[in-house]
Amino acid sequence: MMRITYLFLVIILSVLVACGGGGETNPVEETPENRPPLVPEQVYPLNNTLCINNNVNFQWNKSEDLDNDALKYKIEISENSGFTSIAQTKTVSTNSTTITLEKGKAFYWRVKAIDSENAESDFSSSSQFLTEGDGVTNHLPFSPDLVVPTSNEIIDGTSANLSRTASDVDNDALTFDVYLDTVNPPLKNVSENQSETTYVASNLTVATTYYFKVVVKDGKGGETIGQVWNFSTK
């Protein structure tokens, strides 16, 4: 009797295993990860451009999206190169847009691409430009651009070359006032009416953060105050 019961259980288990389909399951299809679009490239206005009309038509090359998603573009305009405050911002689906700005002022602009899944590219590099003022015979110099040291750089030693570039749409000869200090904003004027674009800072204190800025002057009363940069010594 026990032998018959045992055979019956074996048959039942065999049927159950057969009905289970061998334990195989259909593979789950993974959704491909969305990739962000590439960074758009600025076309107009490029760096150090004088815009004779304050209705500025901003243009950039269309970005490439590896997933072929529809794209829109976000443009930001600021009065400082750090974009700590935004004067105007706009999102469009084309690769150009016209924005009305205040006359006789310097601005910076940048643009980034956003796809239909809300993945974003990095911002493009920023470009500085001027809007023409009414009856202007002398234009302000452009704000200086930092060459070395890079912002937040750590310097090995007690001296540093502080280099920058600057330009003027009137091609005026430019001079520079350099402010260097351990407080922000820097108050100590360490060089005045300097024609060279590099100031050598010496006798720096180790393990200290320094802040510096440059005022650009065109000799005709036009002055532009640059942003504050910083570096540290080891």
Contact 22, 105 (CB under 8 A): no
User: What is the CATH architecture assignment of 145-233?
Assistant: Sandwich (2.60)
Q: H or E stretch including 11?
A: helix 2-19
Q: Alpha-carbon distance 48 to 7, whole Å? A: 93
Residue 141 token pair: 């110099």
Query: Looking at residue 25, what is its pLDDT?
Result: 61
The candidate with the shortest Cα–Cα distance to 72, out of 125, 111, 122, is 111
User: Residue 122 has what DSSP assignment?
Assistant: P
Domain ranges of the chain: 42-131, 145-233
Whole-number pLDDT of residue 28: 66
Which region among 16-20, 178-182, 211-215 has the lowest average model confidence (pLDDT)? 16-20
Helix (H/G/I), strand (E/B), else coil: 231: strand
Equal CATH topology for 42-131 and 145-233: yes
Cβ(51)–Cβ(79) under 8 Å?
A: no
Side-chain-side CA neighbours of residue 174 (13 Å): 24
Q: pLDDT (tens digit, 9 = 90+) per residue, 168-205?
A: 999 999 999 999 999 999 999 999 999 999 999 999 99
For the cut 90, the answer to whether the pLDDT of residue 15 exceeds it is no
Q: Which CATH code for domain 42-131? A: 2.60.40.10
Question: Around Cβ 58, how many Cβ atoms within 10 Å?
Answer: 22
Quote the pLDDT of residue 135: 75
